[in-house]
Amino acid sequence: MFGRKQLTSVYIVDDNSDAIEVLRRMLESQYSVKVIGTSTDADTAIEEIIQLAPDLIFTDVEMPTMTGIQLCQLLHQEVDPNTKVVFYTGHDKYMIDAIRQKAFDYLLKPPSPQDLAQTMTRFYEDKLASLPQAAGPAEQRQPRILVVNAMNEHIALRDADVAFFRFDADGKHWEAVCTNGSTYILRSRTNSDFILRYSSSFVQIHKRYIVNVSHIMMIQDNTCILGYPYEDNRELKVSKNYRRDLMDAFYTL
């Protein structure tokens, strides 16, 4: 409809799978849009949104584990303040909250073709207007990793913040060990494959360790030694099965 060569990436969050499919069909059949992800669970959605970095997010408001308002607030505070979030809900009582959270738009369910057209037109116009101020490669949005602290608060870390990941066999979860000495627990469903997809800087060196190769000072026999900011040159064991991948990643830095 808008004749744009590059598809706009969209993520949809709604605890009603039927509503997701209705919106998906409306978007992909009428606009240059690719729905790159959907979720009926807000917690899962946050992790995937951080990883996929969609151009536009549509979210319901009333959901079991987290409201769309809370999701928007978390994304704006911990991930990117410029994240474009459209609320679509069966109630107009959340409109003031949406405005306070700087939502990009607010639609009532089911969205009419006319209302959706206004939202998408505004999105394309806004995107076009921002092109002259597009960020350079060093300023573009960096991948973030979602972690949970002891207070059960969500925190998004840049890949550069993490020195290595350690698997806690007793707790059956991965932990992110940061360069500032802090340790954060990742969600129990987060496995090694999921961590490795976040950044090419992350390389598995042992069944218990995934290291950020940017922080490796040297590799000696079956040990990798982390440099700054570790004054004691933190050492991590390297398994034979993972040594070749580590060496390849280290020498291509």
Q: Looking at the structure, do residues 124 and 158 belong to the same domain, yes or no? A: no
Q: Per-residue pLDDT averaged across 61-75, rounded? A: 87
Show the 3-state SS of 107-160. Answer: EECCCCHHHHHHHHHHHHHHHHHHHHHCCCCCCCCCCEEEEECCCCCEEEEEHH
Count Cα neighbours of 47 within 13 Å in the Cβ-side half-sphere: 17
The answer to whether the CB of 244 falls within 8 A of the CB of 205 is no
User: Cα 200 to chain center, whole Å?
Assistant: 15
Span 5-17, average pLDDT: 88
On the question of pLDDT at 4 being above 50, the answer is no
Please list the alpha-helical segments (H only) found in the chain: 17-30, 42-52, 68-74, 95-100, 113-130, 192-196, 243-251
Report pLDDT for 27.
94
Which domain CATH number covers 97?
3.40.50.2300
CA distance linking residue 190 with residue 172, whole number of Å: 10
pLDDT of residue 74: 85
Comparison of pLDDT for 90 and 8, the residue scoring more = 8
Q: Report whether pLDDT(183) > 60.
A: yes
Domain end residue (candidates: 105, 133, 161) = 133
- Note the pLDDT tens digit of each residue in 231-246: 555 889 999 999 988 9
Last residue of a domain, one of 133, 159, 185: 133
Mean pLDDT (the chain) is: 82
pLDDT-based confidence at residue 96 (cuts at 50, 70, 90): low
pLDDT at 231: 56
**Residue 52 shares a structural domain with residue 111:** yes
- The confidence band for 51, taking pLDDT boundaries of 50, 70 and 90, is confident
Instruction: Decide if 236 is inside a domain.
Output: yes
Q: Where is pLDDT greater, at 252 or 29? A: 29
How far apart CA 93 and CA 96 sit, in angstroms, is: 7
Q: Tokens in use for 91? A: 């109630």
pLDDT in tens, 112-134: 889 998 899 888 878 776 655 44
pTM of this prediction? 0.60
Rounded CA gap, 175 and 68, in Å?
27
Count of the separate structural domains present in the chain: 2
Q: Which two tokens stand for residue 187?
A: 């969600």
pLDDT given for residue 58 in this prediction: 96
pLDDT tens digits, residue range 132-159? 544 444 444 555 666 655 556 667 778 8
Cα–chain-centroid distance for residue 106? 23
Tell me, yes or no, whether 64 and 111 share the same domain: yes
Cα(159)–Cα(138) distance, integer angstroms:
14
The predicted structure's pLDDT at residue 2: 42
How far is CA 203 from its chain centroid? 19
Strand partners, 120: none
Residue 40 lies in a domain: yes
Structural domain for 99, as ranges: 8-133
Q: Which helix (H) or strand (E) holds 10?
A: strand 8-13
- How many whole angstroms separate alpha carbon 13 and alpha carbon 35? 11
